[in-house]
Amino acid sequence: MIPNSIIEDIRYRCDIEDVISSYVSLKRAGSNVKGLCPFHSEKTPSFVVYKDTQSFYCFGCGAGGDVISFIMRQENLDYVSAVEFLAKRAGIALPEFDSHTGYNDGPGRARILQMNVEAAKYFRSMLFDENTGAPARQYLKGKRALESSVVKHFGLGYAPLGWNNLRDHLRSLGFTYDEMVAANLCSKGEKSCYDFFRGRVMFPIIDVSGNIVAFGGRVLDDSKPKYLNSAETAAFRKNKNLFALNFARNSSEDTMIICEGYMDVIALHAAGFTNAVATLGTAITSEHARIIKRYVSKAVLAYDGDEAGRKAADRAIRLLGEAGVDSRILVMRDAKDPDEFIKKFGREAFRKLIDESRSRFDYIIETVLKKYNLENADDKIKAAGELCAEIASVYSKVERDIYIQKTATALAIDPKSVKHDVDRLIGRNASYEKKRQTEELIRVTSGISDRVNPDYAKSPKAGRLEEEILGILMLHPEYVSIKIDDGVLCEDDFFTGLGRRLFAFIKAKMELDGFSIGMLSEEFSNDEVSRAVSMQTARRDLSNDTDAYKTYSLSLRNETSKKSDMSLEDVILKKRQTK
C-alpha cells in the first residue's frame, strides 16, 4: 500500500537511536548503545541498539527489530499505523490510501479512531441536550459535584437509554455495522447490532497522542455492572493505556498518583492533583508499570481501603518496584476512596496524606502484624517467615539491612537471626533461578515449546544450521547468489516453515531493490522479527562469513534430505531409541 521507497526514506530519516532514546535512556557501549529494555522489567541493561544495522535486540526477553517494529511494539500499532506514526514524526507526506479496506480482519486503527471521535462528539451533544442529558448533568453536578469546566476538560458525555441511538448516528455518517461492532461501540444481535453503552455517563479514554482509543461508561444509579469498559480493539489495549495519562504526563510533579477509578482521577484533577491516573477496568500490569516509569520515578497508590484495594495495592507496588518506580501507599481513613476523601476533608488534607504515605515494607509490616497474634510463638514464627521472604526479594543490600532491623524491632527478635533466614532464602532463590534458567536453555536449544518456529523441535540440528545461514544472509544478503556445490541455495533446502519463509523473503527482496532487516515487519509478526534479529545478532561479531555460509549450506542440504521423509512421530521414536 505504501511504496517501498517512501518506507526506506522514513527509516533513513527516523534514526533508530534518536527514536528509541525518546523512550529509553541509552548509554554508549562501544560502537553501540544500550539501556533498560522497555518491553520487560530488568535492573541490568540488556537492550542494545545497533547503529550500523539500524536494529535493536534485547538479550533479556528476545525482542528485536528495526525502528518500525520498535514503534509497533511500543505504541501498540499495526505495521501501516507505525509507518504513519514515523512519517508524521519525520514530516513525510504519505500517499492517499484507504486505511480500513486494506485489512481482511475488520477495520484498522485509523478507521476505529475516526468512529471514536464521532461517538465522543455524539455523547457530548447528548450530555448537553436540554432534555436528553438532564439526568446525566444532574448526576455529575449534584452527586459528583463536578463543575462544567471539569466535565468539558475530560470530554465527558452521555449515552442515552435506547438500543440504536449511536448505531443510527454512526450509520448516517457512513460507518458499517461490522465496523461498529469491531470498534466495540455496538454489540452484535441476531439481525443487526445494538448500542453497547446505554444510559451511562461516558468517559473517553485518550492516549498520549491525543487519540480517543476507547470509552468507559458509568450508570447513574447503583445498578450492575456499575462500570462498563470498551473491550480491546485494533486501536486499544488495556495494558498500554492509563486514564488521564494524556494530562498527567505534562504535570510538573515528579510523582504519579495511581487510582482505581475514573471518578477518583477526575476528583483529584479538579482539586489540583493533575498527576493522577487510573487503570482501565483491570489490575495494574507490568506494562503499566513500565509506562509510568517512562514519566516519573515515584508513585503513590491511592487505592480503596477495603480488602480488594489492599490486595491490588500489594500487587501494584511489587510490579512498580520491578520497573524501578519507588512506590508508596496512601492510607485513607473515614473515606472509601480519594473522591469521597476530598469531598469530606478537602485538598490540603489529601496533600497531607500523600506526604504521610508509607513505603511498601512499612505497609507489609503493618499488614503482617495485624494478621498474627505475636503473643503466640507459632504465629510469631509465621510472621517472621513472611517478612523474611519479602526482604529476600529486595535487590538492594542497603534496603535489606534496613528492613532486617525493622523486622527485628517489630517482632522483638535478634537481627542476626533475621539476617540468617534472609540469607538462606536468597541462596535458595538463587539456586532455583539457576535451575530454571538451565531448564529454559535446554528447552530453547532443543526447540521444545517453540511457538515462533514449531518445526525446530523436529530437527534441532537443521534448525540451528538454518539460523546460522539466515543470520549471515541478514548481514550479507548478497550471499543468496553464492553457488553451493551444484547451485545456489533455494527455499526447498530449508527444513522449517519459518526458515523457508525468511529465505524466500530475503531472496525476493534482493531480486528487486535489495534487502534490509527492517523490511521483515511488512510480512512477519513481531515475534518472528525478533527471532530473525536474534539470528543476525548472533553472527554479527563472527568472521569468515563466506566460508561459514558455504559450510553451513552444505550441511543443511544433507540434514534436510535426511529429514524430508521423516514424520514427527519418526523423530520422536528416534529420540527415544537414542536415549
Model confidence pLDDT, tens digit, residues 288-344:
998 898 889 899 999 887 777 778 888 888 888 888 888 899 888 888 889 999 999
- Using the 3D structure, point to which of 192, 214, 236 is the last residue of a domain: 236
Number of structural domains in the chain: 5
Report whether 296 contacts 255 (CB < 8 A). Answer: yes
Identify whether residues 458 and 441 lie together within a single domain: no
Residue 342 sits in a domain whose CATH number is 3.40.1360.10
Residues 6+ positions from 438 with CB-CB distance below 8 Å: none
Residue 73 sits in a domain whose CATH number is 3.90.580.10
Task: Please compute the mean of the pLDDT values over residues 375-396 and round it to a whole number.
Answer: 90
Identify whether residues 121 and 192 lie together within a single domain: yes
- Confidence band, pLDDT 50/70/90 cuts, at residue 567: very low
CA distance 350 to 257: 12
563 domain-assigned: yes
Backbone φ and ψ for 544, nearest 5 degrees, come out as 55, 45
Identify whether residues 346 and 371 lie together within a single domain: no
Identify whether residues 297 and 352 lie together within a single domain: yes
188 domain-assigned: yes
Identify whether residues 232 and 267 lie together within a single domain: no
Strands 200-206 and 32-35: unpaired
Res. 228: pLDDT tops 50: yes
Question: Between 33 and 486, where is the model more confident?
Answer: 33
CA distance 338 to 266: 10
Provide, rounded to the nearest whole percent, the portion of the chain with pLDDT above 90.
45
Identify whether residues 119 and 179 lie together within a single domain: yes
Nearest to 326 by CA among 303, 354, 351, 298: 298
pLDDT at 444: 55
Identify whether residues 464 and 574 lie together within a single domain: yes
Nearest to 205 by CA among 90, 120, 310: 120
Report whether 242 contacts 197 (CB < 8 A). Answer: no
Identify whether residues 481 and 547 lie together within a single domain: yes
Report whether 170 contacts 180 (CB < 8 A). Answer: yes
Q: What share of the chain is helix, strand, coil (3-state, %, to 5)?
A: 55, 10, 35
In 185-280, where does DSSP find H-type helix?
A: 245-248, 262-270
Q: Residue 457 has which C-alpha cell?
A: 523441535
103 domain-assigned: no
- Using the 3D structure, point to which of 397, 418, 446 is the last residue of a domain: 446
Strands (E), 241-373: 255-259, 276-278, 298-301, 326-329, 358-359
pLDDT at 501: 93
Q: How many Cα atoms occupy the beta-carbon half-sphere of 351 within 13 Å? A: 9
Model confidence pLDDT, tens digit, residues 115-128:
999 999 999 999 99
pLDDT at 449: 56
Identify whether residues 497 and 568 lie together within a single domain: yes
| Cα angle, residue 263 at apex, residues 259 and 269 outer, rounded to 5° | 75
Question: Between 3 and 348, where is the model more confident?
Answer: 348
Task: Please compute the mean of the pLDDT values over residues 486-513 and round it to a whole number.
Answer: 88
Q: Count Cβ atoms below 10 Å from residue 514 Cβ, excluding itself.
A: 12
CA distance 58 to 64: 6
> Domain span at residue 28?
4-90
Residue 192 sits in a domain whose CATH number is 3.90.980.10
Q: Which one-letter DSSP state was computed for residue 233?
A: B
CA distance 150 to 263: 11
Q: Does the N-terminal peptide bond of residue 107 adopt cis geometry, omega within 30 degrees of 0?
A: no
What's the alpha-carbon Rg for the chain, to the nearest Å? 28
β-partners of residue 487 are 484
Identify whether residues 571 and 464 lie together within a single domain: yes
Identify whether residues 293 and 208 lie together within a single domain: no
Identify whether residues 168 and 206 lie together within a single domain: yes
In 212-306, where does DSSP find H-type helix?
A: 245-248, 262-270, 286-295
97 domain-assigned: no
Residues 6+ positions from 493 with CB-CB distance below 8 Å: 553, 556, 557, 560
56 domain-assigned: yes
- Using the 3D structure, point to which of 236, 256, 271 is the last residue of a domain: 236
Report whether 298 contacts 279 (CB < 8 A). Answer: no
505 domain-assigned: yes
Average confidence score pLDDT of the chain: 86
302 domain-assigned: yes
518 domain-assigned: yes
